[in-house]
Structure formats: C-alpha cells, structure tokens
Amino acid sequence: MCQLLGLNANVPTDIVFSFTGFACRAEEHKDGFGIAFFEQRGVRLFVDPASAVGSPVADMIRRYPIRSSHILAHIRKATQGRVALENTHPFVRELWGRYWVFAHNGNLVGHAPRLHASFQPVGQTDSERAFCWLMQELAKAHAALPSVPELTATLRELVPGVAAHGTFNFMLSNGEALWAHASTRLAWIVRQQPFGRAQLQDRDLSIDFAEHTTPQDRVAVIATEPLTTNEAWTAFAPGELIAFVDGAPLAAAGAAA
C-alpha cells in the first residue's frame, strides 16, 4: 500500500516539515515517490521511480522550501503496474484550461471502465485508469469549470462507482480545492491560530509553527496516517469525501456543499 500526503492552505505554505516525516516512510514504500505543487494555475511535478530515501529529487525538496497552497505527495509500493516513471503518482491532466493532479492509495480490482474520450492512461496502473475515468466523467458532467461545491457534488456521485472495486483512498486538486476521499485510511488536521509545537511521528524533529506563521494562516494537512504525535488528527469515515478550500473543509468554511 502506498501513502498519501496533501496540503491545502489559505496562504502559500512550505511542506518541508511534513514531507520530512512523510519521506521517512519510504523505507517501506520504495517503488517511487512524487509531489506536485500548484502555484496559481501552474504545477510543479516532481516524480522519481526511485525511493524518496536517497533520491536527489527528494533531497532537493527537503531543502528547497517551495511555497504552495495546494500540494499532493505520494510514496509508492507497487501493486499494479511495474516500477516505472509512467506509473509514479501523482498524475496530471488538463481539463477546462486547468491542471488536475491525482494520487491514489489502494488497489482496484476489475475496474475496467470504457475510456472513450480524451483521457487515456499512459502507464499501467489501476490508479491512472480511475483518474482518467473521473476526468472523462467530469468533462461530460460540466461544459466548463464549475464551482467547487458543484464539482464536489459530481465527485460524490462518481466516486462510489470506483470505490466499489476496492480501496480508493485518493487526493485530487485543480489548484482551487483539494478533494480527499477515504475508503479505509486517511486523516486530516487544520492548523490555525493559536499555533503550537508539533512533533513528527517518524523522526525526532519538532517545529513551533507560531514562529513560522501569521495569525491569519490556516493550513489543512491530510495524510494516510497522522504525521505528528501531539496533535488531534481526525480520521475520515469510510466513503467520506471532503473538499478542502483555504485550509479548511468546505462545509466548515461556511460554503454550501
């Protein structure tokens, strides 16, 4: 099984602290890693079919604080599809003049949807196939980019059809929102004022967020398993899909969903 890490914030935020803990888990998940950062409409995507432990790319990410309001990361333990760059998450496609980034943890069995439109997998994973199908169906459901609540409603219709085929923990972002869905394992936390000290679970490292933030900052972090030991993470319910906008779950942010 792979591991997922996502960040959604109301200000561009660096993920060096969380990624440092997350990348430690690559000891067991050594079949590649990837991380995508939105900067407004643009995306930086770093993918490496090597383990995040020892990868020069992962090393650069740990040392170069790229600030972004939407970040998705994935470390891979191959289930379907050989260890290769084209099978390394996250995957990116363009729809309605926006980039869409997707990463998946889990295993889908017998999910062979008809891909008759403009989204075809490049690699061999169940994950990229499911992503292409979601993109195809979103494109059919809306003529142009809809609002985040509308997209959330459409995803809530589409996702159960895929999730019926196995474990479908995933994250999806277009740079406006980050959607996270759990079949089995996913947890989230919102960091906001008053900021405190956080202690990584996977490494002897802590940070005092009060020294690195302003009172207006709000940051949601979503991960397969909680990354810190002294904060209150909320587990997703099975089948739950949450849209994160401006560092908080959409409903909690006051918008309609």
- The rounded Cα 239 to chain-centroid distance in angstroms is 16
Q: Tell me: does residue 92 bind a second copy (CB under 8 A).
A: yes
The residues carrying an active-site annotation are: 2
Return d(Cα 8, Cα 13) in angstroms, integer: 9
* Cis amide leading into 65 (omega within 30): no
- CB count within 10 Å of CB 144 equals 6
Q: Tell me: does residue 117 bind a second copy (CB under 8 A).
A: yes
Span interacting with a second copy, options 59-67, 106-114, 158-166, 248-256, rule CB under 8 A: 59-67
Q: Tell me: does residue 86 bind a second copy (CB under 8 A).
A: yes
From 39, 176, 217, 225, residue interacting with a second copy (rule: CB under 8 A):
39
Q: How far is the CB of 79 from a second copy (least distance, A)?
A: 18
Q: How far is the CB of 137 from a second copy (least distance, A)?
A: 14
- Six-digit token string for 236: 């997703």
Residue with tokens 């079919």, as numbered in its chain: 49
Q: How far is the CB of 242 from a second copy (least distance, A)?
A: 25
C-alpha distance from residue 231 to each of 32, 34, 80, 190, 221 (Å): 29, 26, 34, 10, 12
Classify 170 as helix, strand or coil.
strand
Strands (E), the chain: 3-13, 33-39, 42-48, 68-75, 91-95, 98-105, 169-173, 178-181, 187-192, 197-199, 206-208, 218-223, 234-235, 241-245, 248-249
Q: How far is the CB of 39 from a second copy (least distance, A)?
A: 4
**CB of 76 or CB of 218, closer to a second copy:** 76
Q: Tell me: does residue 31 bind a second copy (CB under 8 A).
A: no
Residues in 131-190 at the binding interface with a second copy, rule: CB under 8 A = 139
**CB of 56 or CB of 194, closer to a second copy:** 56
Q: Tell me: does residue 114 bind a second copy (CB under 8 A).
A: no
**CB of 115 or CB of 187, closer to a second copy:** 115
Secondary structure (H, E, C), 40-53: CCEEEEEEECCCCC
From 109, 122, 235, 256, residue interacting with a second copy (rule: CB under 8 A):
122
**If you write DSSP's letter for every residue of 3-37 in order, what string do you get?**
EEEEEEEEEEE--HHHHHHHHHGGGT--S-EEEEE
Q: Tell me: does residue 109 bind a second copy (CB under 8 A).
A: no
Span interacting with a second copy, options 117-125, 211-219, 227-235, 242-250, rule CB under 8 A: 117-125
Measured in degrees and rounded to the nearest 5, phi and psi for residue 68 equal: -155, 155
Total number of residues that touch a second copy (CB under 8 A): 37
Q: Tell me: does residue 63 bind a second copy (CB under 8 A).
A: yes
- Strand pairing of 234-235 and 187-192? antiparallel
From 42, 160, 196, 215, residue interacting with a second copy (rule: CB under 8 A):
42
Give the residues lining the site for a second copy (CB under 8 A).
39-49, 56-57, 60, 63-64, 84-88, 92-99, 117-123, 139
